[in-house]
Every structure is written in structure tokens, then in C-alpha cells.
Amino acid sequence: MASKLADRLGMPVLVENDAAAATIGERLYGVGRGLTSFVYLFLGGGIGAGLFLDGQLYKGSRSNAGEIGHMIAVSNGLPCVCGKRGCLDRYVSLGAAYDYLNITAHGQAWTRSPDIVAGLSQDRIDAWAETAAEAMRQTIDVLELAFDPQTIVLGGSMPTRLLEGLARRLQPLHRPVDPGQERVLPRIMTGAIGRDTALLGAAALPIFSETNPQFDVLQKPLRQRPQE
């Protein structure tokens, strides 16, 4: 896609998924400022993770790192479009929330409507959050054990009432591997700049890709001096 657009426009084109773009936006403008390692959970029609580790956006060998929506969170759980059962998407995503709350989606417009849950009672929102919380706690436990981030940030296109309701229901989280170690940041934070995070990150992609330090370049081994 990038190469075709570049040919048409006559200029370089960068393509990034929404979770990775939102991670950059959060790093530059949100609660991720000053952090070197955090995981950004983008809750939208599905759920994806952006991995900002040791000062770099980690994308994996085939740019598929962070596709956690199809990680099995509930053994032999609800069927998923991917063919597996119990995927995280079926419990925590915006699509799963709207299914539970009997909200009808028309195309993709439902992911962009901040008022779509305005008429719902807090009891209904809390009931959905309770069903989603355990799957999310398990996911957070895995992410902390695998990547040891400074914090995990919740964000994306999910309406604020749903996102905050879920965040409240996550406590208590599973016991961390280092319970006695003092923490500077909470284990879970809510993104600071709302639903425009991915747009801000995408707009910053050209600058970010050029100015963010590439530590692997700095760590190239010195060439050995020829023997005399």
C-alpha cells in the first residue's frame, strides 16, 4: 500500500496501524512523555497493543507485534472470527461491549461517536466492565511479565464512560512479580489525550521515524584494528 501511494503522490509514504500510531501520539503528547518503556492498549472495534520498549517502538519480525486481540483469554470461550475460541477481542473490545449492551453498529461510524453510550445507566456499563475485567487482568499480567513496562496505558476509540468503567473494575490486578518494589507510576493509566491520539501519532510519524534515537546503530561493534 505504501509503495503504491508513494508512486501516485511522488513522495515517501509511511503506513502504520492505529495502535502503533496511538502509542507514538501518547509518547509525544500524553502520559507517555518521558517514559522509556510502556504498553499502550488501543481499545476500538478490536484491541491491539503498541509496545514502546527501551525507547523504541517494537514492531516484531513481520510488523505483527501487539496483535493481542486474538490471544486466548478465556479457555474454550466465545467463538471468534479468527477461528479460535475465547479471544480477548470477544470480551474487551468495543465490539464486544456493544454486543453486550445491545447497541447496534452501522458501518464503522459507531467507533467514532462519543455520545453513543450517553443514555446508558452506570449500572449497565459496570455490568459489562465486570464481564470484561478478568480477561483484561489476565492480559495485563502477561504483558507485565513479558515486557516489564513502566506502566500500561488504556486508550483508543472506546467512549470515555466505557474506558473509565473498565479501568475502575480492573482492581485488584494480579499480584506482580516484584510486589515489594516501590513504583513511581501506577500499573495502569488512562491515556491523557483522548480519541485523537492515533491521529496525532500518525501526523508525527515522519518526524518521529527520523528523530527517535536508533540505539542499535550506536551499538555497532568497533572494527578490529589490523594486526601489525
Share of the chain above pLDDT 70, in %: 86
The superfamily (CATH) of domain 17-218 is ATPase, nucleotide binding domain (3.30.420.40)
Provide the mean pLDDT of the chain.
85
Closest listed residue to residue 175, CA positions, set 146, 133, 145 = 145
> What's the average model confidence in pLDDT over 12-27?
88
Rounded Cα–Cα distance for residues 168 and 194 (Å): 17
> What local confidence, expressed as pLDDT, does residue 45 receive?
87
pTM of the model: 0.84
Please compute, for residue 43, the number of CA atoms within 13 A of its CA located in the half-sphere on the CB side.
Answer: 28
Dist CA 69 CA 49 (whole Å)? 8
Residue 103 has pLDDT above 90, yes or no: no
Residue 208 pLDDT grade (very low, low, confident, very high; cuts 50, 70, 90): confident
Query: How does residue 218 score in pLDDT terms, banded at 50, 70 and 90?
Result: very low
- Cell numbers for 59, please give them: 514492531
| Mean pLDDT, residues 26-42 taken together | 94
Domain positions in the chain are: 17-218
Question: pLDDT tens digit string along 136-163?
Answer: 999 999 999 999 999 999 999 898 899 9
**Nearest 5°: phi and psi at 47?**
-135, 130
Per-residue confidence (pLDDT) for residue 217, from 0 to 100: 41
Q: What is the pLDDT of residue 62?
A: 86
